[in-house]
Amino acid sequence: CKAVVRGLRGNQPVQWEITFDIHKLFREREDREDDESDLWNETFHHLAAKSIIRDFEQLAERESEIEH
């Protein structure tokens, strides 16, 4: 999957693209039970990706507010 964050910087459009693999999150339940530590790592990876996306969105909003 890819998340795209768009904004303005110096009145110029900018875009950040963040790619990540969510395939492992949809594995069968028995596969997950075999390797719970891997599931925790994936969960933390997902939360970190959401945080990064939110940070980029907030940065783009602040830069837009400063320019106006």
pTM over 0.75: no
Q: How would you class 53 by CB atoms within 10 Å of its CB: exposed for 0-12, middle for 13-18, buried for 19 or more?
A: middle
With cut-offs at 50, 70 and 90, classify the pLDDT of residue 26: low
DSSP letter string, 16-54: EEEE---GGGGS-HHHHHHTHHHHHHHHHHHHHHHHHHH
Rounded to an integer, the average pLDDT of 37-60 is 82
pLDDT of 14: 85
How high does pLDDT run on average in the chain? 75
pLDDT-wise least confident of 8-12, 36-40, 44-48: 36-40
